[in-house]
Chain A
């Protein structure tokens, strides 16, 4: 997993609520057996029409906006557990998603793929979306070590599980940690009554 320490970049606004993982990556693209190429189809049915032409009014097709930070509406990533959604977000080039609320499974999947989900207050989100809309060149800074998001909407301390923070900063994942617990796991198996 890639390390994440600090990032300063512009952001892409997507002020839609309840963006489910079927919108992030529709099921018909889940037939692949590797993790590559999902970025090409992120938000596929919003980005392209049925003939494969770009929908000009969708934000990813609007050159005004760009950057590796996605700022999205409330309850981002709800629905299916497909990690393909996280691979699609990362594959497109996003490293951070900011929203006022994240669905549980997506949040975990994001962290397991080096994408930082940052939860902000609904008021902060609203202001941030407005600022980006008016000034697309606005830069945001994310300092994971200090857990601070800085933007013209203000400095905001965000929360992250301390263990996950260490993983993100060092590029570790859970597999190595769990394997290191082998003895305890085997002891549990021996001693449990049910």
Chain B
């Protein structure tokens, strides 16, 4: 019998029951919730008179629909305020821990849970948000669910699921200087497309991921859904253990030691076979930018937009107001957003600050920095990065999802380009008619300083 994959081992350890010729009942260790995708699930339970089964395994935060300025004041938008109020009431009623607006642990769900040690290797985790794949960086089975499934987990702490197929993405070799985890994942998606992972759960393997920090691994796993995969995982190793150990909600003492022994057995067996596998040479990857309206439409910053007959490409370019065959270098950019569950961790801001230090933001640029959590915001101040940014003319805001999905007032105006460290360049994602160019925090910082897209490889050499 062939060996087991990391995914198999974690999955099999959580199967409660199997429906003959049907799905399996999978136990969920941690359920993260937020204000946008939970209210209808609470209502569903109430209508049916069902209690929340395991409130102590649920953690709530407010992030999607929150302002990023003046968080101490009442939320101005009435609908948003009502949604936040409902979350507070629902959590109080059902005994669920909520890190609401202003709480020291508040933040984007996929930033705050890992940094507090809520996310732990070997777990199963879900959230009504597709970027739950982020937590896979810890060797966790983590994936986004719909609101009906949020209700199912409320009711039973389980989900009915069919085991997905297995996919492995290998990246080996030496990365060029200033090629960041964001570039790696944008490159992979540009090569295999936005639906290559649909029906699969992905494992990222190879020295490139092994050498990445936890922040970098989170950036990679975060975007698994952008290639269609419900989740992406990286085998837990010493980097993972060092990150988790000692965090607020991480296991301690003998419990941790015992767990560690188990976690070390999780990496994929050498003889395990994947349903699909891709391999890439790290040295081929360069700083990336997207030119179109899905995350697969990416090119290296020194490259040119594909010149081919394709109605989808033409539709995307019409929206972006770009032409086939052209380069994006020197395109004027008026908006830069550094934030989102993809790139709003301390490491992302360190990289941006390191570039920005001693420079000035270009006059034409509105540069928004939105830390992923209160903890990240605090760390920015402790490390003096806030000063670096404000002296350079950047606007440092308060934590939240912000302009990644523009549910709050942080919207990019119609027709404007935004170089964004977020995860989706869909039409209208950052505001009606807004045009998103996805990139790394370094590319974003360089764009803010230059006021246009620049060949960062040249600048840094």
Contact = CB atoms under 8 A, between A and B. Distances in A.
B17 A181 contact: yes
B157 interface: yes
Given A20-B426, A22-B428, A50 B148 contact: no
B29 to A, nearest CB: 9
Contacts of A50: 414, 432-433
A83 B148 contact: yes
The 8 closest A-B pairs by CB, nearest first: A112-B148, A163-B22, A31-B79, A178-B156, A83-B146, A81-B144, A109-B146, A33-B39
24 contacts: A22-B429, A23-B428, A30-B36, A31-B79, A45-B427, A45-B432, A50-B433, A75-B194, A78-B195, A80-B130, A81-B129, A81-B146, A83-B37, A101-B195, A101-B198, A103-B195, A103-B198, A104-B198, A105-B225, A112-B148, A163-B22, A163-B160, A174-B160, A175-B155
Nearest to A108: B146
B312 interface: yes
B40 A163 contact: no
B117 to A, nearest CB: 16
A79 B122 CA distance: 26
Interface string B187-218: 00000001100110000000000000000000
A75 B195 contact: yes
Interface in B94-108: none
B190 to A, nearest CB: 14
B198 A75 contact: yes
Contacts of B25: 178, 181, 184-185
A188 B195 contact: no
Interface of A: 16-18, 20, 22-23, 26-28, 30-35, 45, 50, 74-75, 78-84, 86, 101-105, 108-109, 112-113, 161-163, 173-175, 177-179, 181-182, 184-185, 188-189, 192-194
Contact of B86 (A20, A30, A33, A86): A33
B65 A81 contact: no
Nearest to B429: A22
Contacts of B225: 79, 105
Contacts of A194: 13, 122, 259, 262
Contacts of B238: none
Q: Interface size for chain B: under 10, 10 to 19, 20 to 34, or 35 or more residues?
A: 35 or more
Contacts of A189: 27
Contacts of B122: 194
B385 interface: no
B356 to A, nearest CB: 29
B50 interface: yes
Contacts of A30: 36, 64-65, 407
Given A113-B148, A174-B152, A79 B199 contact: no
Interface string B157-168: 111101010000
B194 A78 contact: yes
B406 interface: yes
A104 B427 CA distance: 21
Interface string B253-291: 000000100100000000000000000000000000000
A181 B16 contact: yes
A175 B406 CA distance: 32
B160 to A, nearest CB: 5
Nearest to B87: A33
Nearest to A180: B156
B87 to A, nearest CB: 9
A185 B27 contact: yes
Given A34-B43, A104-B228, A181 B433 contact: no
A79 B130 contact: yes
Interface in B126-158: 128-130, 144-149, 151-152, 155-158
A175 B48 contact: yes
B387 to A, nearest CB: 33
B357 interface: no
Given A20-B424, A34-B39, 12 more contacts: A18-B195, A20-B426, A27-B406, A28-B406, A31-B407, A33-B82, A82-B146, A104-B198, A175-B155, A178-B25, A181-B25, A194-B122
A183 to B, nearest CB: 10
Nearest to B259: A194
B315 interface: yes
Contacts of A112: 146, 148-149
A190 to B, nearest CB: 12
Given A78-B228, A163-B23, A184 B16 contact: yes
A108 B406 CA distance: 25
B65, B147, B294: residue with the most chain A Cβ atoms closer than 10 Å: B147
B230 interface: yes
A105 B16 contact: no
B402 to A, nearest CB: 12
A50 to B, nearest CB: 6
B457 interface: no
A44 to B, nearest CB: 9
Contact of B262 (A16, A162, A185, A193): A193
B334 interface: no
A109 B148 contact: yes
B48 to A, nearest CB: 7
B80 interface: yes
A162 B148 contact: no
Nearest to B297: A18
A20 B36 contact: no
Contacts of B152: 174-175, 178
A179 B312 contact: no
Interface string B46-77: 00101000000000000011000000000001
Contacts of A173: 148
A31 to B, nearest CB: 4
B426 A31 contact: no
B148 A181 contact: no
A188 B29 CA distance: 12
B195, B262, B312: residue with the most chain A Cβ atoms closer than 10 Å: B195
